[in-house]
Amino acid sequence: MMRDSIALDSTRLAALQQTPLWDFALTFYARPGVEQACLTLQEAASIDVCELLFHSWLYAHGLEALPVPLSTLRQARREWQAGITEVLRGLRRDLKSTVNPSETVTTLRERIKQAELLAERENLQRWQTWAWDNDQSSAHLRNRRENPHDAGRWLQERLLLPQDETSPDCDTEATSAIQYAFAVLGQQLDPLQRAR
């Protein structure tokens, strides 16, 4: 039964604190279609996959981040992604396009790929630390307002601004791909919800 109150439920917070975000992310990302949906949203809508995984983790525990404190955290996490993760991703992609790469280039690309993964893991750790902060949890989180029947739409509302959904830069094909990616995520996220 879903509680009417949106005040932070200590039982939900305790369950969240027993499920590290990295572990959740690995499980969720391995579900059918999730990896491709995340990559589609990263490329077509410039969505930060780490933030997407963070919101998915909260959703699975019946929680959501409060908008005002989230905006401050989001800016710090975006700076990390832009300054660290995206730089590594760009280097890795540049090396991938090398014609007839040497063994050294192939090894370098693999090491950069590992560094990129570590950068993403660190970013997720920082999202998790913010949510798990016992002194601030009630100032950061609340019970999810509703029990949506569409987890994909719920995620979309947290990750896209209204103007992003109808951006003139997005053609019909890109918009359809974005909508489909959120639908896939929602279908795979709903079974991961904890019983309340």
Q: pLDDT for 17-47, tens place per residue?
A: 999 999 999 999 999 999 999 999 999 999 9
Mean pLDDT estimate for the chain: 87
Predicted confidence (pLDDT) at residue 174 exceeds the cutoff of 50 = yes
Rg (CA), the chain: 18
Determine the average pLDDT of the residues in 105-120.
95
**Crossing angle of helices 172-189/34-45, nearest 10°?**
140
- The answer to whether 101 touches 109, Cβ cutoff 8 Å, is yes
Q: CA–CA separation, 178 vs 138, rounded Å?
A: 32
Determine the average pLDDT of the residues in 136-152.
79
Instruction: Fill in the amino acid letter for 26.
Output: L
Collapsing DSSP to helix, strand or coil, 97 comes out as: coil
Per-residue model confidence (pLDDT) at position 161: 62
pTM for the full predicted model: 0.87
Predicted confidence (pLDDT) at residue 68 exceeds the cutoff of 60 = yes
Determine the average pLDDT of the residues in 102-124.
95
Predicted confidence (pLDDT) at residue 7 exceeds the cutoff of 90 = no
Per-residue model confidence (pLDDT) at position 6: 73
Q: Where are the beta strands (DSSP E) in 12-171?
A: 63-65, 141-143
Determine the average pLDDT of the residues in 81-110.
93
Which is nearest to 40 in space by CA: 166, 185, 153, 168?
185
Burial 54-64 (b: 16+ CB within 10 A, else e): bbbbbbbbbbb
Instruction: Fill in the amino acid letter for 90.
Output: G
Per-residue model confidence (pLDDT) at position 5: 60
Predicted confidence (pLDDT) at residue 148 exceeds the cutoff of 80 = no
Determine the average pLDDT of the residues in 97-105.
89
Q: CA–CA separation, 54 vs 38, rounded Å?
A: 13
Which is nearest to 65 in space by CA: 142, 12, 171, 122?
142
Please report, to the nearest 10 degrees, the dihedral formed by the alpha carbons of residues 122, 128, 132, 138 taken in order: 130
